[in-house]
Amino acid sequence: MKIVNVLGGLGNQMFVYAMYLALQEAHSDEEVLLCRRSYKGYPLHNGYELDRIFNIESPEASLMQLSKIAYPYFNYKTWQMMCHFFPKRKSMVTGTTQIPFNYNEITRNDNVFYDGYWQNEKNFKPIRDIVMKTFTFSPFEDEINLRLFKKLQKSRAASCHVRRGDYLNDSVYGVCNSKYYERAVSELNRTVDPDLYCIFSNDIEWCKENLADLIGKDKLVVYVDWNKGKESYCDMHLMSLCHYNIIANSSFSWWGAWLNNHEDKVVLAPEIWMNKPLVNDPICDSWKRISIE
């Protein structure tokens, strides 16, 4: 039996579910379950979203099943207690940036409780087609997103994601600075010369003040500021439709880039993902790292 705990915003939920799919593929004759109990009382983001956005249905682990390989927790607070105060059992493993990537965590044949975000495409790259099919967005129905969608079909567009807001006071993640975006935009303009930039951010005013001159007056720029709250996922959908992606140190734009299926795709990512040394960061080998120093 394998149980995968889900937590975090949409991007991290997708990492966890991709791990779940990889486990299903590797253990077709074994029970693989999800645990969503941590969302009871979870104070961040929009709650669990995979069922609503991707119409995903997955079997839920019972308290009895949890107790066999982890601990029976009921909500976000009891999950925190389990993580910080209870002794770690041999059947409990964690996918973090501080543990080297190890594909054996997927192929092992014992009972396992998987916690953490598992932010490495190598966990599920062998089943890319399955993951892409699972994370297929429904067609746009609203007029403003549909209009931009049609424009993207006719353009060599680049997405640029700037995450500020909650990151401004986060000493661990921090914010990708203007030097990073200056270098990334310059690299794209020099190498592939996009004709359209779509800017996504939780601080659009900062983007208007700091990115317009970097991109250049000869480029069309669209500041995507209308997808709010439970419709925020539409930004990820739009990012995935662009030919080129400049991502922030964010799992949200990571998936926007990973789901980009253009043959000529170019993805630029920050060389430093977090403000601490990482053993295992999420940047894909095929993406180009851009310095923020």
Q: What is the mean pLDDT of the chain?
A: 92
- Looking at the domain that runs over 140-290, which CATH code has it been given? 3.40.50
pLDDT over 70 (residue 165): no
pLDDT over 60 (residue 183): yes
Please state the pTM of the whole predicted model. 0.94
pLDDT over 60 (residue 62): yes
> Both tokens of residue 2?
């394998």
Q: pLDDT class for 257, splitting at 50, 70, 90?
A: very high
Question: Per DSSP, what are the bridge partners of residue 35?
Answer: 5
| pLDDT at 282 (0 to 100) | 93
Full 3-state SS string of the chain: CEEEECCCCHHHHHHHHHHHHHHHHHCCCCCEEEECHHHCCCCCCCCCCHHHHHCCCCCECCHHHHHHHCCCCCCHHHHHHHHHHCCCCCCEEEECCCCCCCCHHHHCCCCEEEEECCCCHHHCHHHHHHHHHHCCCCCCCCHHHHHHHHHHHCCCEEEEEECCHHHCCCCCCCCCCHHHHHHHHHHHHHHCCCCEEEEEECCHHHHHHHCHHHHCCCCEEEEECCCCHHHCHHHHHHHHHCCEEECCCCHHHHHHHHCCCCCCCEEEEECCCCCCCCCCCCCCCCCEEECCC
| pLDDT at 168 (0 to 100) | 56
| pLDDT at 43 (0 to 100) | 78
- Percent of the chain exceeding pLDDT 70 equals 96
pLDDT digits (tens, 9 = 90+) for 6-58: 999 999 999 999 999 999 999 999 999 999 999 998 877 788 999 999 999 88
pLDDT over 90 (residue 192): yes
What are the residue boundaries of the structural domains of the chain, listed by start? 2-132, 140-290
Q: pLDDT class for 129, splitting at 50, 70, 90?
A: very high
Is the Cβ–Cβ distance between 35 and 6 less than 8 Å? yes
| pLDDT at 166 (0 to 100) | 63
Q: Rounded to whole angstroms, how far apart are CA atoms 135 and 185?
A: 28
pLDDT over 80 (residue 177): yes
Mean per-residue pLDDT, 131-156: 97
Closest CA to 117 of 230, 280, 235: 280
- The Cβ-side half-sphere exposure at 205, using a 13 Å CA radius, reads 1
